[in-house]
Amino acid sequence: MSDTIDSRLSALGVTLPVAAAPAANYVPYVISGNLLYLSGQLPMENGSIAVKGIVGQDVDLAAAQRAAELCAINILAQAKSALDGKLERIVRVIKLNGFVASAPGFTDQHLVINGASNLIANVLGEAGKHARAAVGMAALPLNAAVEIDAIIEIAP
């Protein structure tokens, strides 16, 4: 499956970055049994937050979807780090929790988080089909427009 994952990433023009280090007092992931819990990932690109601001006010839907896609790329980078470079250990993405910094009255959080869901499904195929939540927040760390965490089932 690794060749399939790598080839899908390549076909999408995605290069996974080095997994980001924690910005506070937490760990980037926890493995418990056959579950990998990934801490929230921000829309980091080239070492900085690529999409900042409030969606529906400072950030339009297309930019917010790109932010969610970047979060998904960083989720895969963290998973790769946690799994010693072996993304083929992913059995299934169980759930994504998507948080969108939202202006009052903005109600398209589900469309924003599609940016992440689509990328995960395109890269992982059937194993990428997941449950999820998409919620609006007043603000997110470092003024990020989107943050997403994940729960992933893994093989030994």
- pLDDT of 1 reads 46
List the CATH number of the domain containing 78.
3.30.1330.40
pLDDT tens for the chain, 156 residues long, are: 456 899 999 999 999 999 999 889 999 999 999 999 999 999 999 999 999 999 999 999 999 999 999 999 999 999 999 999 999 999 999 999 999 999 999 999 999 999 999 999 999 999 999 999 999 999 999 999 999 999 999 999
In this structure, is residue 122 part of a structural domain? yes
**The pLDDT of residue 147:** 98
Residues, the chain, total? 156
At 131, is the secondary structure helix, strand, or coil? strand
Kindly state whether residue 32 falls inside one of the protein's structural domains: no
In a domain, 111, yes or no: yes
Q: What is the pLDDT of residue 2?
A: 54
Residue 117: inside a domain: yes
Question: What is the domain extent for residue 87?
Answer: 2-14+38-154
Q: How deeply is 71 buried, as exposed, middle or buried, from its count of CB atoms within 10 A (0-12, 13-18, 19+)?
A: buried
The answer to the question of residue 28 being in a domain is: no
Question: In the beta sheet, which residues pair with residue 76?
Answer: none
- pLDDT at residue 5, as a whole number: 94
Q: Is residue 26 part of a domain?
A: no
Q: How many domains is the chain built from?
A: 1
Alpha helices per DSSP H over 45-154: 61-82, 109-124
At 3 the pLDDT is 61
Kindly state whether residue 61 falls inside one of the protein's structural domains.
yes
**Structural domain contains residue 84:** yes
